[in-house]
Amino acid sequence: MTDVTMDKIVSLCRRRGFVFPSSEIYGGIGSTFDYGHYGVLMKNNIRNEWLRAMVQERDDIVVLDSAVIQNPAVWVASGHVVNFSDPLVDCRTCKLRFRADKLEDSQCGRRPSVHPGEFRECDLTEARQFNLMFQTQVGAMEDAASTAYLRPETAQGIFINFKNVAQLARRKPPFGIAQTGKSFRNEITPGNFLFRVREFEQMEMEFFVPPADAPRWYEYWIEQRLAWHVGLGLRSENLRVREHGVEERSHYSSATSDIEFRYPIGWQELEGVANRGDFDLSQHTEHSGTKLEWIEQDGTRYVPYVIEPAVSIERIFVAMLCDAYHEEVVAERDRTVLRLHPAIAPVKAAILPLIPRSGDMVTRSRALLDDLRARWFVEYDDGGQIGRRYRRQDEIGTPWAFTIDEQTLEDETVTVRDRDSLAQERLPLSGVAAWLEDALRRPWAPPAP
């Protein structure tokens, strides 16, 4: 990832219809984005791969879909009303607001003055705590009693359903509940494209374990999640695990490790794995009066500890794009290619009639398209020179392109071109679906940069 910048990623996303600035025709709304066709497909693939690893391929985790707006008492019990805040300072010189703990990342104090080469002194107010939860009103009455919050994490929806899922269905720890869905945070300084946004899709799993087993499961989930990212194409050298110091931990955590990725802006948190202990279940028991605990057959009771891997699709999306982005010169022409893992690539294959005016080529191409699209997102592309079509597919990360040409009309074979190696081979038209199925099952690792 030598010369990948966030600007290049933003520009490709926009050019190729992955991601657009939101509300653009009204001047935008800072750090808020809308996803176009390829962005939606790629997000779906990330979510599906997470659900596959967390739920589909295991028998100890189930899924949940809880509400975004919950009883405000949830956020009092969880500690978010009091503790979910960042220190905020205003700069009287720049007239901007910053996170006091991230001042070194900001431009504050580095604004040029009217004298060349000089910088204006920043003049900061005292830091005060700013709660990151978005407030809203529920119902027609606008009074304090109707104030509610947009959830800042999906996790609490899981804890308040512990009784429904665990106790009633008698799921014995260790077991987990997984959830994907939107979370909202009124970040003081959102930015760096999708890295820090105010509206994002979290994928969280709360794994309930007997207290004595918590350290072992904590290590287990760090390893599992690291392996998941590598398995989906992130290069090991761009990933590392960093354990939080005591002062850095969230109010609910007794141990946290970040899986960090080397983004173009430096090493940053991609995913967090936390040991939340019995904090949440105990808090909700105390505040709701409903006992959230596990009762063994012999009547012994305990409050399970919770190990939580938590990540947003946005952070994975950016990491995968940065890791996959590659510029090179092939046959004296520039090529930009997204070497995405085939499972993550928005489009699995392109179908290209070499001569779009040829009725026979179009008929065969369309038949192949109908065959493949029953199972995968594939794309029919007949616009422009074949080389340009290859380049377009390279830029959106399509792993394979099938070209229907004169030879197809003679012997019913097609050319398949590999995005990464650029190798081409011929295979029978009738065998394309089976070939693609097999190719998508093969292990894939990123080519050497």
Q: Under the criterion CB under 6 A, does residue 153 sit at the interface with ligand GAP?
A: yes
Using CB under 6 A, which of 49, 269, 381, 405 touches ligand GAP? 269
Decide: is 292 part of the binding site for ligand GAP (CB under 6 A): no
Angle, in degrees to the nearest 10, between helices 6-15 and 313-324:
100
Stretch that binds ligand GAP, among 98-106, 234-242, 269-277, 335-343 (CB under 6 A): 269-277
Rg value, the chain, Cα = 25
Question: Helices 432-441 and 359-373, interaxial angle, to 10°?
Answer: 40
Q: Select the residue interacting with ligand GAP from 196, 339, 348, 417 (CB under 6 A).
A: 196
Which residues are CB-neighbours of 9 under 8 A, at least 6 positions away? Answer: 193, 264, 318, 321, 322, 325
Per-residue tokens: 120: 């204006």
Rounded least distance, CB 275 to ligand GAP, Å: 12
Span of 68-76, 165-173, 198-206, 349-357 interacting with ligand GAP by CB under 6 A: 198-206
**Position among 16, 43, 151, 185 found at the interface with ligand GAP (CB under 6 A):** 185
Task: In angstroms, give the least distance from the CB of 385 to ligand GAP.
Answer: 40
273 binds ligand GAP (CB under 6 A): no
Based on CB atoms, which residue is closest to ligand GAP, 45 or 154?
Answer: 154
Residue 314 touching ligand GAP (CB under 6 A): yes
CA quadruple 439, 440, 444, 449: dihedral, nearest 10: 80
Considering only the stretches 264-272, 340-348, 382-390, 398-406, report the one whose residues sit in contact with ligand GAP under the rule CB under 6 A. Answer: 264-272
Name residues contacting ligand GAP, limited to 202-241 (CB under 6 A).
202, 204
At closest approach, how far in Å is the CB of 449 from ligand GAP?
A: 25
CB closer to ligand GAP, 249 vs 426:
249
Nearer to ligand GAP (CB atom), residue 258 or residue 405 = 258
Q: Would you say 277 or 353 has its CB closer to ligand GAP?
A: 277
**Residue 271 is a binding residue for ligand GAP (CB under 6 A):** yes
Judged by beta carbon, residue 257 or residue 285, the one nearer ligand GAP is 257
Q: CB 312 → ligand GAP: shortest distance, Å?
A: 3
Question: Whose Cβ is closer to ligand GAP: residue 153's or residue 405's?
Answer: 153
Phi, psi of 76 (to 5 degrees): -75, -50
Write out the two tokens for 336. Answer: 């930009």
Of 97 and 391, which CB lies nearer to ligand GAP in the complex structure? 97
- Is 312 one of the binding residues for ligand GAP (CB under 6 A)? yes
In this complex, which beta carbon is closest to ligand GAP, that of residue 272 or of residue 397? 272
Q: Which residues pair with 222 in a beta bridge?
A: none
Calculate helix-pair angle for 313-324, 37-51, nearest 10 degrees.
110
Q: Contact between 275 and ligand GAP (CB under 6 A)? A: no
* Residue 322 near ligand GAP by CB under 6 A: no
Q: 273-310 in b/e burial notation, b at 16+ Cβ within 10 A?
A: bbbbbbbbbebbbeeeeeebbbeeeeeeeebbbbbbbb
From 94, 103, 155, 429, residue interacting with ligand GAP (rule: CB under 6 A): 155
- Say how many residues touch ligand GAP, by CB under 6 A: 18
- Give me the amino acid identity at 423: A
- By CB under 6 A, is residue 285 in contact with ligand GAP? no
Q: Which is nearer to ligand GAP, 196 or 348 (CB)?
A: 196
Select from 109-117, 266-274, 325-333, 355-363 the region that touches ligand GAP (CB under 6 A): 266-274
Q: Which is nearer to ligand GAP, 176 or 272 (CB)?
A: 272
Q: Which is nearer to ligand GAP, 193 or 444 (CB)?
A: 193
Least Cβ distance, residue 28 to ligand GAP (angstroms): 17
Nearer to ligand GAP among residue 46 and residue 347 (C-beta): 46
- The single-letter code of the amino acid at 132 is L
Q: What's the one-letter identity of residue 203?
A: M
Q: Is the dihedral of CA 143, 144, 148, 152 positive or negative?
A: positive
Using rule CB under 6 A, residue 311 touches ligand GAP: yes
Applying CB under 6 A, which residues contact ligand GAP?
A: 153, 155, 185, 187, 196-197, 200, 202, 204, 269, 271-272, 308, 310-312, 314-315
